[in-house]
Amino acid sequence: MAESGTSGRPSAALRRALAPLALAQFICSFAGSNMNVMINDISEDLDTTVQGVQVAITIFLLVMAALMIPGGKLTDLYGRKRCFTAGLILYGIGALLSAVSPGLGVLILGNSIFEGVGTALLIPPVYILATLLFTSVTARARAFGVISAMGGIGAAAGPLIGGLITSAISWRAAFVFQALIIAVIVWLSRRVPDPLAADPTRPFDTVGAILSAVGLILLVTGILAADNNVWLMIALIAAGALVLALFFRFTRAKERAGKEVLLSTSLFHNRTSNLGLVTQNTQWLMLMGVSFVVSAYLQVVRGYDAIQTGVIFSAVTAGLLVSSLAAERLAKRRAQATLIQAGFVVTIAGIGALLAMVIGTPNVWAFAPGLLLIGLGLGAMLTPSVNIVQSSFGEELQGEISGLSRSVSNLGSSLGTAIAGTVLVAGITSTPERSYGLAMVVLAAVGVIGLVASAFLPRTIATTETPGLPPPHPPEALGTT
C-alpha cells in the first residue's frame, strides 16, 4: 500500500484505512462517557441506584484497562486485523445485549463485560496498524492526531449524543446506536491490510495476563469500596499492589530465563515514554472524572434530564474540536512537551472555574466556561502524549507498547470514575455542594501531578534508530525542531 501520493499526503487507500480505525476509537470513548447522562433513566428503569450505575461504568472501563495489555499481545499471535474484527463483533453483541437488559446484572454483562473485552481486543490494533501503515513521520503524526482527536471527541460528545437519543427515544436506543456504528466499522474495515504476518506459534504468558488483570481489578475495586468500608478499601488496594508487584517479579524472572513475557520490562526503561504514560493516565482520569461528577451532580442534585445534561457538556466537545483541529498546526510550531504542559494548565484552570462559578449559583451557564477550558486543554495534549509514547519504540514492540499505552489510559478513565465518583456519591444526597467541590479538588490535584510529569519531558528528543525499523522518536512527529 503506497504511503503517499505526489502531494506528500497519505494515499487514498491509507485514508480509507484510517477511517474505521478512528471511528473505532470514537465509539469506544463514546461508550465510556455516554452512560453518564443516563444515570437517572437507567437507575429508575432497572430499579437500581446511582452507585449501581457508577459500578457498571467503572467495570466497563476497568475491564478495558485490565485486558488491554493481553489484548495487545494477542495481536502478535493472531494478527492485528483478526483481533480488530473479533473485538468489533464482541462489542456489537454486548451493545445489543445491553439494549435489551432487564436488570443491572445483564447490563453489566453486556456493557461492562462484552463491550469491555471487545474494546480491549480492538483498540490495540488501532494504534499498531496506524504505526505500521503510516511510516513517514508526517503521516504518522497526522494519523495519531485524527485517532486521538476522535477518541477525545467521542468521550466529550458522549453525554450530548447519549442525551439526545435518551430524551428522544430511550437510553436503550443509545446502545442500538453503538451497535449500528460497529456494523459500519466492520464494513469499512474490509480492506484494511495487516502489514505483519501473525505468528500463532509464539507462546502466550497466561500467568502474567492473569496477574496483571487481577492486580488492576483489585486496585480499582478498592477505590470503589471507599464509601462503604475504609478497611476493605485499604485491604483491596494493598492486595492489588502486591499482585502487581508479583507480576513484575514473575516477568523479570521469565525474561532472565529467555522466555516470552506478557510485557517487556524494557518498556519501562524509556524515561520519556514513562512520563508520557503518566500524562496519558492523568488526562483521561480528569476527563472521565469531570464527566461523571458533573453529570451526576446535574441530574441528581439539579434535577436535569439527559438532554439538558448533554447540552451543557457540548462546551467540552466544542473545546476539544477547536484544539484538536489546531493540533497539527500547533505541533509544527511548538514542542510536544510544551503543548502537553499548556494543556494541563488550561484544564486545571477549567476545573478551577467549575469550582468557583458553579457552587452557590443556580445558573446553568456557570458550567460553560470551565467545561470549555477543559475541552480546550485536553484536546491540545491528547495527541502529543500518544505520539510520544507510541513513537518511542520500533515495530517489534508495537504490540506491547500499544497495549500498555491503552491500558494506562483506560486505567485513568476507570480511576477517574472510581475516585471522583466515589467522593461525590458518598455525600451527594446529604451535602451535595461539599461533595461536588471535594471531587473537583481531587481532580485538580491529579492535574497538578500530570503537569509536574510533563515538566520533565525533554524539549528535543534524541533518537536511537534500530536497523530496518523506523526511528523510535520521529522528530517531526513529536513536534520538535
What's the pLDDT tens digit per position in 138-185?
677 677 778 877 877 787 778 788 888 888 899 999 999 999 999 999
Identify the pLDDT of residue 186.
94
- Pair (220, 93) in one structural domain: no
**Which has more confidence, 348 or 422?**
348
Across 356-367, average pLDDT = 78
Residue 368 lies in a domain: yes
Q: How many CA atoms lie within 13 A of 152 on its CB side?
A: 34
Q: How far apart are CA 382 and CA 283, in angstroms?
A: 7
- Pair (406, 335) in one structural domain: yes
- Pair (283, 314) in one structural domain: yes
Q: How far apart are CA 389 and CA 398, in angstroms?
A: 10
Which percentage of the chain shows pLDDT scores above 90?
25
- Pair (156, 253) in one structural domain: no
- Pair (235, 313) in one structural domain: no
- Pair (423, 360) in one structural domain: yes
Cell of 338: 510544551
Identify the pLDDT of residue 243.
93
Please give the mean pLDDT across all residues of the chain: 81
Indicate the pLDDT class of residue 374, thresholds 50, 70 and 90: very high
Residue-by-residue DSSP string for 129-196: HHHHH--SHHHHHHHHHHHHHHHHHHHHHHHHHHHHHHHHT-HHHHHHHHHHHHHHHHHHGGG---SS
Residue 32 lies in a domain: yes
* Res 470 pLDDT > 50: no
Identify the pLDDT of residue 134.
79
* Res 114 pLDDT > 60: yes
Residue 464 lies in a domain: no
Residue 37 carries which DSSP code? Answer: G
**Which has more confidence, 124 or 401?**
124
Indicate the pLDDT class of residue 465, thresholds 50, 70 and 90: very low
- Pair (174, 217) in one structural domain: no
Is 110:95 a contact under the CB 8 Å cutoff? yes
Residue 34 lies in a domain: yes
Which percentage of the chain shows pLDDT scores above 70?
88
Residue 32 carries which DSSP code? Answer: H
Place of cell 497519505: 10
Q: How far apart are CA 188 and CA 127, in angstroms?
A: 17
Is 18:191 a contact under the CB 8 Å cutoff? no
SS3 content of the chain, % helix, strand, coil (to 5): 80, 0, 20
Residue 353 lies in a domain: yes
- Pair (103, 185) in one structural domain: yes
Identify the pLDDT of residue 480.
32
Residue-by-residue DSSP string for 385-431: HHHHHHTTS-GGGHHHHHHHHHHHHHHHHHHHHHHHHHHHHHHTTTS
Q: What is the pLDDT of residues 181-216, one digit of tens each?
A: 999 999 999 888 888 777 788 888 889 889 988 988
Chain centroid to CA 117: how far?
Answer: 14
- Pair (100, 62) in one structural domain: yes
Identify the pLDDT of residue 85.
94
Selection from 31-40, 213-222, 394-403 with the highest mean pLDDT: 213-222
Q: Enumerate the H helices of 189-224 as residue ranges.
A: 206-224
Residue 105 lies in a domain: yes
Cell of 376: 480546550
* Domain end call among 218, 234, 261: 261
Give me the number of domains the chain comprises. 2
Instruction: Report, in angstroms and rounded to the nearest whole number, the Rg of the chain calculated over CA atoms.
Output: 21
Indicate the pLDDT class of residue 389, thresholds 50, 70 and 90: confident
**This prediction's pTM:** 0.74
* Res 456 pLDDT > 50: yes
* Res 317 pLDDT > 70: yes
What type of residue is 245?
A
* Res 406 pLDDT > 90: no
- Single out the residue of 64, 18, 58 nearest to residue 406, CA to CA: 64
- Pair (158, 211) in one structural domain: no
- Pair (236, 360) in one structural domain: no
Residue 475 lies in a domain: no
Residues 6+ apart with CB under 8 A from 398: 127, 128, 131, 132, 390
Cell of 267: 518498556
Indicate the pLDDT class of residue 447, thresholds 50, 70 and 90: very high
Q: What is the pLDDT of residues 28-72, one digit of tens each?
A: 888 877 887 788 889 889 988 877 887 888 788 778 777 888 888
Find the domain containing 228 and state its range.
205-261
3-class DSSP assignment, residue 270: coil
Residue 269 lies in a domain: no
Residue 32 Cα distances to 60, 63, 261, 383, 467, angstroms: 7, 12, 30, 19, 40
- Pair (326, 443) in one structural domain: yes
Phi, psi of 326 (to 5 degrees): -90, -5
Chain centroid to CA 203: how far?
Answer: 28
CATH number at 374 reads 1.20.1250.20
Beta bridge partners of 10: 4
